[in-house]
Chains A and B, each alone.
Chain A
Amino acid sequence: MKADTLKKVFPIISITVVVFIAVTLLGLTDTVVRPRIEWQKEQKIQDMLKEIFPDMTEYTLEDDIYMIYSDGAEIGFAFLAVGKGYGGNIDILVGLENETTVKGVTIISHLETPGLGARVTESSFRDQFAGLNIDDVALKRDGGQIDAVTGATISSGAVVDAVRATAMEKVKSLEKRE
């Protein structure tokens, strides 16, 4: 009788032990590498901000808006915009040098088709944004100043529209704050 009960609960005990060991191991690994992962994320944001604002020396984050400083003087601000692309969301980092003018954009992540929509990440497309007035950030067929990537009108339009819409919204919220 006793041996029989033991036989029945042994599978439960064994799987409990295995899961317990697995969880302990994972907890340990996480404790070891977590600071490094946080540091990588921080580094990535800083690198991308630097790409748009090469003169940046420090930045602060206030309500989703990165304020960019060069030796204590404010030289612009940046924020995230999300475009609805062909393959999914396109995360874009947008930098403005003042309330009306775009400084630059970088694509943080996307799921567009390699060789087609994914070419919105190339500088030949992104460089078109620099120095534009926010109102002119639109595809040429919509009366704006931006050439779409050949064969990737949806991806290009998604980036352009997200940049314009989010820029207008963020500028408004900045003005309200002041």
Chain B
Amino acid sequence: MTTVAVQPGTKPATMAQALGRAMRDAMAEDPTVHVMGEDVGTLGGVFRITDGLAKEFGEDRCTDTPLAEAGILGAAVGMAMYGLRPVVEMQFDAFAYPAFEQLISHVAKMRNRTRGAMPLPITIRVPYGGGIGGVEHHSDSSEAYYVATPGLTVVTPATVEDAYGLLRASIASDDPVVFLEPKRLYWSKAQWSPDAPAEVPGIGKALVRRSGTSATLITYGPSLPVCMEAAEAAREEGWDLEVVDLRSLVPFDEETVVASVRRTGRAVVVHEAGGFGGPGAEIAARIAERCFHHLEAPVLRVTGFDIPYPPPMLEKHHLPGVDRILDTVGRLQWEN
């Protein structure tokens, strides 16, 4: 998948392992870090991301909660008020919705409504996105709800080393972070050493994953490997595509995106979430505002359709794929 620098002595590791290791290391370093959620203890989570944490740190540090997302996040708020640093697992994207009132009315606003006196350092891990053949309510791209809520930091890794580095940074953050885990990349592998994890840039910094000159693909999370594949395939068409991985949606690293698009003069935003009101709408608007005189073509988007998430047998038609990305790049007015 992505171009990850290979360090000497490293072995292949999965994103799932890197995420688990990030929580383990955070818990070992900071006794106030508590992991909680449905099935995160004995079972290690339905995706096994928290595997081994309850055994190593005890059930008081990695807690199987009752099955109630508002209660989980609401309790985490109280724990954070008392000085703990909860890491909450929402089992699936669409199962996080019962917690929205807690998230929007309390978690996102507490720093603001207490004039900075009581920030809430809570990390809310949400496996999100499609492509795993999940039945209804298991494949939503819910990021638009989160990015529309001021006070939340919204992070999404696309590589193994970012999974570790960004989760550590999220847990260390004094602000609440919605940490969106691209579940179809859980088993993606890269050379990565858990004992000497690579330093990664912090939250709020986008990275150019592939340099190019013809056009910029702007993406994040589950769509990064798709864009990287598309960029490789585009060489046959004579296009040298640059790929920007946002890594966090809030804060949005506008400068990296703008600098790239000013260089290439063309931009396509790619994400699984629907296009109307999706993050790509805002990104395209900002590019239009700040790169107008550098653009050779209108900013285009490749997004999920504006439909409820489809049944798994049809999801391949819904998700942004290499062909649809290349077709879209082809519409960037090259003839001029």
Indicate, yes or no, whether A interacts with B: no
